[in-house]
Each structure stands twice: as C-alpha cells, then as structure tokens.
C-alpha cells in the first residue's frame, strides 16, 4: 500500500466530486466529521439568499410565502429517507438532548404501569443526564437504570418500560444490533428509543423495518448541518396520537394562531414541535442533508468501510510500535464512521497531531478518535495522516504537550 495506490483509488472513486462541494481547510487533514461535519459551499449561497431575500425583503411575510413555518417538517421528511422512516414520522427541531427528553416522556406514556428506563453505562452522557432529570422531577413515574452494553439483552424483563440506546458508540464506533435488541425488547413489552447521533448520514438505518418506536439524532455530525444545527426526532406513526407532549409549546398546538388558553396537541409529528423553528439553522441543515441524499448512503457506507480498513492496516503497520491499540471493533461490519485507538498519552498525542494538522479528537480516559466522513475524506488523506502520525510519534513531539485534558477536541 503506497501513496500512488491511494491516488489511484481516489481517481476511481465514484464519490470524488462531493469533496468539491465543501470548504476544505488549508493544510488540514480533518478527521472530526463525526463531531462537526465540514461546511458545504451551498450552505453559504443559500444562507445569503435567505437572509437577503426571504428575511431581508420578505420579513414576516416569509413565514407563509417561503414555507418557513413548515421547514422542520420538510427537513424531517428528508432525514426520514436516511433512517428508514416514512413521511410524517420525523421532524427536525430542538437539540438532541431536548428530543431525548421528549422521547423518554413519550415512551412512558405509551407504556403505563412500568417505570424503569434502561440504558447502558457507556451511553453518551447527555442521554443519561436527561433520564436523570426526568427521574428527579417525577421519581414515582420513572426510574433510570444502566447496565453494561453487552448485558442489555439479558436485562430485558417485564419491569422495563423503555430502553434508551445509542446505536453507534461515541467512543469506539461500535454498532449495536438494532434488529435483535428491538425484537427481544418488544417480546417483553418494552418500547425502544434509539439515539442515532453517530448513525444518521453514516450508516443505513432501518427504523420501520424493525418496528422501532422512537428515535432521535444529531444534525451537525455526519449530516453536516453546521455547529449547533437542529436535531431530529422520529415517532412511529403507531404511537403519535397516544402521546400528550410534555414539552407542550405553542408551535405544537393544533392551531397556534388561535392563541387559545388551553393546549390541544396538533395532529401527527407536528405535536413534537415546541417553540418557533430556528429557520436559518434548518436551512443550513437542509443543505447538508441534501448532499448526503445525493451521494447515496449505501455508497458512502461502502467507501467508509474501505477507508477505515486501510486506515487500521496502515496504523498497525506503521504505528503499532508507538503504543496505539485499536479501541474500535476489529470486524469492519461492527464499526461505523469513526476509528478509535487507545494510547496512554492520548490527550497530548491528539494535541500534537492537531498542531501538525491532523484533526481528530480525544475522549477520556485514553481514546483518540478519527472520524471518517467518506463524503469528503480521500484515500490519500488516510495515507498522509498515518505518515504524519508516525512523524509525530517518532520525534516524540507529543512530549511538548500537557496531558491534562483541557478542551473540546
Ligand atoms: C453528539 C451526541 C449528542 C448531542 O446532543 P446535543 O443535545 O446536540 O448536544 C447526543 N447523544 C449522542 C449519542 C451523541 O453522540
């Protein structure tokens, strides 16, 4: 595997034209698209158009004239295509954390008489925090519990109301078996909530094929929606009418402009809106989602697997002697869009790599993550990154960096 081979793979890559649709930072090998996707060129063009024309000239009229009022639904329907959902089952709104709150509250309403919500102790913290917040407010209705992720199947019993699981682990990229877990949960009368934050736009998801009840996910990771982009929530058609939204904001009202004193939930997925939709954020998210739809998720997944296999093989050949240990599953089908390595000096190593233009990130206690976003990552980037990692390790450049964890990346 030499550099020429990578250049050849890039030349024959069916997805190569997509890289030209993004801003590419100068002298940077970017491996953090799982945390913040790159900026599409179209996003700038569209934002300027919306600000100058729709906001600048149209002002308040644009809520109706430009369909601003239904943008969360429109973007939601596009995301639905990426996660195996139908029209009217997904809405883009709020943050993932807030949507987790909505989904847990909804699940408990659909499964009365049970109060345990089960998650895994390696889940992303905000998922657990939202569960703990609901429990603090209403300990008689909900009891949050966690188990190790390999214990999930054995922990499903008739006391559990719902499980809250993240399909792709944020540290290791490991994919949980959505089909198997959902099926076993349903056999025990348990409803399932899947967090798709690291799945959406990265791996094909089949929510309705597996009769999933609820799901949430993130807009700024593999969907390239921009920093703090709106998130999304999926509520299966079969449950929608049974749920009284606890976050019962006016935009989820049946007729917000009736300004009625009492809340009546809107029909369908609309009732999971809360406040006024963040229009500019939704427009930016839509640009990112459109690109993923155009590139085709099956193609993206195929290329992501090829890239990650090459990356791991090069790392093992070139950098094993420097103390990296693969933290992601060895089997390529059990890993999603990022590859992680453990390293005893993980934080300083990731700082030193960033200083040399290789942007991955670090997760406590010792995980260095490399996000692989096939929509803009090239084979030659993988090769060049491993060369730079080797260089940093050989010269022990990381020794100049503090091991005390200080920042986001
Ligand atoms: C990134 C991520 C989130 C993010 O939540 P926000 O409310 O958008 O900050 C939530 N859950 C998981 C599993 C994530 O990976």
Residue-wise pLDDT for 162-185, tens only, equals 999 999 999 999 999 999 999 999
For the Cβ of 166 lying below 6 angstroms from any atom of ligand 1, the answer is yes
- pLDDT for 380 equals 98
Ligand 1, atom 1, lies closest to the CA of 197
Give the percent of the chain with pLDDT over 70: 99
Beta-carbon contacts of 254 under 8 Å, excluding residues fewer than 6 positions away, are 264, 265, 266, 267
Q: Residue 386's closest CA among 290, 318, 307? A: 318
| Mean pLDDT along residues 226-231 | 98
Q: What is the CA radius of gyration of the chain?
A: 22
> Ligand 1: distance of its center to the CA of 297 in Å?
21
Per DSSP, 120 falls in state: E
221 is catalytic: yes
Give nearest CA residue, ligand 1 atom 8. Answer: 96
Q: Which of 18, 124, 214, 362 is catalytic?
A: 124
Q: What is the pLDDT of residue 406?
A: 76
Average pLDDT over residues 20-39: 96
Provide the CA 390 distance to its chain's centre, in angstroms: 30
The rounded mean pLDDT for the chain is 97
Summarize pLDDT for 36-70 with one digit per residue, the tens: 999 999 999 999 999 999 999 999 999 999 999 99
> Ligand 1 centre from 126 Cα, in Å?
7
Q: Is 124 in the pocket of ligand 1 (CB under 6 A)?
A: yes
Instruction: State the pLDDT at residue 397.
Output: 95
Point out the catalytic residue in the list 127, 195, 213, 361: 195
Paired with 358 in beta bridges are 29
pLDDT-based confidence at residue 408 (cuts at 50, 70, 90):
low
**Residue 273: pLDDT above 60?**
yes
Query: For residue 335, what are the β-bridge partners?
Result: 174
Check residue 404 and give its pLDDT. 81
257 — pLDDT class (breaks 50, 70, 90): very high
Could you identify the atom of ligand 1 that is nearest to the CA of residue 170? 15
Q: What is the pLDDT of residue 409?
A: 57
The C-alpha atoms of residue 361 and residue 371 are separated, in whole angstroms, by 8
Return the C-alpha torsion angle 57, 63, 67, 68, nearest 10: 100
41: exposed, middle or buried (Cβ count in 10 Å: 0-12, 13-18, 19+): middle
pLDDT at 405 > cutoff 90: no
DSSP 36: S
218 ligand 1 Cβ < 6 A: yes
Q: Is the CB of 197 under 6 A from ligand 1?
A: yes
CA–CA dist 90, 88 (Å, integer):
6
Nearest-atom index, ligand 1, CA of 99: 7
**Can you give the pTM of this predicted structure?**
0.97
* CB neighbour class for 218 (10 Å; exposed up to 12, middle 13-18, buried from 19): buried
Confirm whether 322 is a catalytic residue: no
Structure token pair of residue 82: 């990426």
Q: Is 238 a catalytic residue?
A: no
Q: Is 127 in the pocket of ligand 1 (CB under 6 A)?
A: yes
Compute the distance between CA of residue 92 and CA of residue 101 in angstroms, rounded to an integer.
15
Instruction: Report pLDDT for 1.
Output: 87
The predicted-structure confidence for 322-351, as pLDDT tens digits, reads as follows 999 999 999 999 999 999 999 999 999 999
CA angle 274, 218, 20 (to 5 degrees): 125
Atom of ligand 1 at shortest distance to CA of 219? 8
Active-site residue 45, yes or no? no
**How do strand 116-120 and strand 160-166 relate by DSSP bridges?**
parallel
Instruction: Answer yes or no: is the C-beta of 318 below 6 A from any ligand 1 atom.
Output: no
The average pLDDT across 108-136 equals 97
286-317 confidence digits (pLDDT tens) = 999 999 999 999 999 999 999 999 999 999 99
């Amino acid at each position: 595997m030499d550099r020429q081979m990578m250049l050849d793979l890039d030349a024959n890559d069916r997805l190569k034209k997509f890289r030209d649709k993004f801003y590419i930072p100068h002298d940077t090998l970017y491996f953090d698209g799982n945390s913040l996707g790159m900026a599409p060129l179209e996003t700038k063009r569209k934002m300027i158009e919306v600000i100058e024309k729709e906001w600048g000239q149209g002002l308040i009229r644009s809520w109706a004239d430009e369909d601003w009022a239904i943008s969360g639904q429109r973007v939601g329907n596009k995301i639905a295509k990426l996660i195996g959902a139908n029209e009217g089952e997904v809405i883009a709104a709020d943050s993932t954390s807030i949507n987790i709150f909505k989904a847990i509250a909804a699940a408990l309403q659909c499964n009365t008489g049970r109060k345990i919500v089960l998650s895994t102790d390696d889940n992303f913290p905000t998922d657990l925090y939202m569960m703990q917040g609901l429990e603090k407010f209403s300990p008689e209705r909900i009891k949050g519990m966690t188990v190790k992720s390999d214990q999930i199947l054995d922990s499903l019993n008739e006391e559990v109301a719902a499980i809250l699981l993240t399909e792709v682990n944020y540290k290791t990229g490991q994919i949980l078996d959505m089909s198997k877990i959902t099926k076993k949960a349903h056999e025990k009368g348990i409803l399932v909530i899947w967090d798709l934050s690291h799945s959406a736009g990265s791996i094909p998801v089949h929510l309705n094929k597996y009769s999933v009840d609820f799901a949430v996910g993130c807009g700024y990771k593999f969907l390239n929606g921009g920093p703090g982009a709106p998130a999304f929530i999926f509520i299966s058609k079969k449950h929608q009418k049974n749920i009284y939204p606890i976050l019962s904001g006016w935009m989820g009202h049946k007729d917000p402009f009736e300004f009625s004193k009492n809340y009546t939930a809107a029909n369908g997925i609309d009732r999971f809106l809360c406040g006024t939709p963040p229009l500019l954020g939704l427009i930016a998210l839509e640009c990112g989602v459109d690109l993923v739809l155009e590139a085709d998720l099956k193609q993206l997944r195929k290329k992501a697997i090829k890239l990650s296999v090459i990356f791991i093989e090069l790392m093992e050949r070139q950098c094993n002697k420097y103390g990296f240990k693969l933290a992601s599953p060895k089997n390529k089908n059990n890993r999603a869009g990022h590859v992680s390595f453990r390293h005893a000096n993980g934080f300083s190593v990731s700082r030193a790599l960033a200083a040399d233009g290789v942007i991955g990130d670090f997760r406590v206690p010792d995980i260095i993550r490399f996000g692989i976003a096939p929509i803009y990552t090239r084979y030659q980037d993988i090769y060049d990154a491993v060369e730079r990692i080797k260089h940093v390790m050989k010269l022990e450049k990381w020794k100049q960096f503090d091991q005390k964890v200080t920042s986001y990346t």
